[in-house]
Structure 1
C-alpha cells in the first residue's frame, strides 16, 4: 500500500471512536481554563499535564508492541523510539518536583513531542510495521492533542 492510500485508509470504528474520545479530557481542561472559576485552574493544569504525559507514554507502548509483533528483527531505532516517550514524559515532571517553572514549559514540551511523534508513526507506517489505516488515525489524534496541550500551557 502506498503512502497516500495509507493516509486515507479508514481505521476500524472502535479504535476511531475511542481515539477521538481521547481528545475530550484535554478539551475539557482547556474549557475549564477558559470558562471555569479560578479555583479550578490548578487542578485543571495538573490534569492537563498528566493526561498528555500518560498518552505520550502510551504511544511508546504502542510502538514497542508493533516492534514486538514484527516477524523480522526490528531495527534498533524502533526500540529506542519506543522507550523515549516515557523518559521524556518523566523529564517534564522534574520542574514540578523541584519547584521550578511549571507547567508552561512542561506542557509545551509535551505538546511538541506529541506533534513530533507523527514522525515515528509515519516511519512505522511506511516500513509496513503499522496497519494501513495507522496514519489516518494518528494524524488527527496527535495533532489534536498536541495543539490542545500547547494551548493548555499558553492559557494556564
Structure 2
C-alpha cells in the first residue's frame, strides 16, 4: 500500500471528526471550572476526572485491539502497555475513595498520563502496528485532552 505524502490528509474523515468531537466533553468541563460558578465546580471536576479516566482506559483497550489484530507480530510489551492505562485510571480514584486530596492531583496525573500515551502510539507506528497517519490524529487529541485535564486539575 502506497503512503500519501501528507499523513494529515490520510486521516479518515470520520476518525478526524469523531476524535475532535471527543475533546468537547473535557472542554465543557474546563469552561464550567473556569466559569466561577461554585455550584458547577464539583460536577465539572468529577466529570472531567471521569472522562479523562474513561478515555485513558479506552486507549488501553485500543492498544489491546491493535495487538490482537497483529497476532504473532505484536510484541509482548504491547499487551502490558494496554493494561496500564486502566490501572492508572483506577489508581487515580484511590484518593477520592479514601477521602483524601482530590481531584486536583488525580486530574493532573491523568492529564500527564494522557500525554504520555503518545510514546506508545509513536512506537505503534514505528513498528507498523498502527497506520502511518496515526500520530497526525493522536497527537492533537492526546495533547488537547491531557492539557485540558491538567488545567482543570490546577483549578480544582
Q: TM-score range by the shorter chain?
A: over 0.9
Q: Which runs of 5+ in 2 are unaligned?
A: none
Partner of 1:153: 153
TM-score by length of 1: 0.93
Q: Which runs of 5+ in 1 are unaligned?
A: none
1:29 aligns with 2:37: no
Between stretches 28-37 and 103-112, larger displacement belongs to 28-37
Q: C-alpha distance in 2, partners of 1:92/1:67?
A: 26
Q: C-alpha distance in 2, partners of 1:9/1:60?
A: 26
Distance 1:88 1:6, change over 3 A: farther
CA drift of 1:10 comes to 2.7
Partner of 2:97: 97
TM-score by length of 2: 0.93
Which portions of structure 1, spanning 4 or more consecutive aligned residues, are displaced by more than 3 angstroms? 5-9
Greater RCO, 1 or 2 (C-alpha within 8 Å, sep 6+): 1
> Do the aligned partners of 1:6 and 1:125 also contact (CA within 8 Å) in 2?
no
Partner of 1:44: 44
Q: C-alpha distance in 2, partners of 1:112/1:40?
A: 24
CA drift of 1:73 comes to 3.7
Aligned length: 154
- SS of the residue 1:90 aligns to: helix
